[in-house]
Amino acid sequence: MVKKTTKATSAAPQGAADVILQEETRPTVGRYMYFVIGYFFLAFCWQMAKVADAVKDRWYVFDPESLHQVAQAAVAAAPGDMPAIVDFIYGNLSATYPPSQIRLNPDNTEWMFNNAGGAMGAMYLIHASITEYLIIFGTPLGTEGHSGVHTADDYFNILVGEQWAFQPGSYEKEVYGPGDVHHLPRGMVKQYKMHEGCFALEYARGWIPPMLPFGYADTFFSTLDFFTLWKTSVTTGREMIGNLLIGKI
Ligand SMILES: *[C@@H]1O[C@H](CO)[C@@H](O)[C@H](O)[C@H]1NC(C)=O
């Protein structure tokens, strides 16, 4: 088609205006084709993402309700005593879920710093897989920051201390204390503060890998603490792969 046009133009030159018209037509058609192909490609990706999003629920092992009950039982058994609370939670979970179903990290001395959204604390990673993670997170000093925009639902079970939260449009703070759960639905953002000392059992379910950049951004743009980055990556990778090997997505 294009070749023919060129031939016709060279065989019978019709003036500059026609040539310009022909040359303008060609890239416009090309761009239109790319647009159509791009549109169908995006539509396909969107459908695949919707399918993946619909099936992800079948891979959940934990559920927010029973974790909340375990957190409340731990708080009731040893109020204010974090080492005992952590032992209680791990003991309960490892007795409830067989290792063939889900991999849990038994090493509760494996703590590492976590900087994200301007807040700083430490975490012990109990479980990490593609669709769930469970950590103990907190600091005895208090911290404050941005919750992050997450592709997972987040359940923050307070163990000791208080967590405060705020959303634009409100004039009051939300207050969560020991035994309370602060549910941050997927996509919702808040400012939060772990007022003075606070530790929590944080459970996230949804697509976990897209949450990792938020967990890493402060390292690259602020702390430059690559030791912590390395430790976080090794631990998270080890747990995710360990879970994949037993078929826990
Ligand atoms: C774990 O804690 C829950 C909630 O308190 C309780 O119902 C359950 O019996 C506990 N399981 C074990 C194995 O201790």
Answer with the residue of higher pLDDT: 168 or 27: 168
Please state the length of the chain. 249
Which of 65, 92, 157, when mutated, tests ligand 1's pocket best, judged by the most ligand atoms within 8 Å of its CB? 92
Do 93 and 70 touch, CB atoms closer than 8 A? Answer: yes
* Average pLDDT value for residue range 101-122: 96
Task: Find out whether the beta carbon of 143 lies less than 6 Å from any atom of ligand 1.
Answer: no
Structural domain contains residue 165: yes
Give, in order, the Cα–Cα distances in Å from 238 to each of 86, 123, 231.
21, 16, 10
Structural domain contains residue 34: no
Structural domain contains residue 68: no
Q: Cβ of 67: how many Cβ atoms within 10 Å?
A: 21
In the chain, how many domains are there?
1
pLDDT of 24 > 80? The answer is no
Structural domain contains residue 50: no
Q: For the whole model, what pTM was predicted?
A: 0.83
pLDDT digits (tens, 9 = 90+) for 165-192: 999 999 999 999 999 999 999 999 999 9
pLDDT digits (tens, 9 = 90+) for 211-238: 888 988 899 999 999 999 999 999 999 9
Structural domain contains residue 47: no
The sign of the dihedral angle between the CA atoms of 152, 155, 156, 159 is negative
Cα angle value 12/15/18 (rounded, 5°): 90
Task: Find out whether the beta carbon of 92 lies less than 6 Å from any atom of ligand 1.
Answer: yes
CATH of the domain at 158: 2.60.120.10
Structural domain contains residue 99: yes
- Domain span including residue 156: 79-245
Which residue has tokens 């090997």?
A: 245
Confidence tier at 50 by pLDDT (50, 70, 90): confident
Distance CA 13, CA 21 (A): 13
Task: Find out whether the beta carbon of 70 lies less than 6 Å from any atom of ligand 1.
Answer: yes
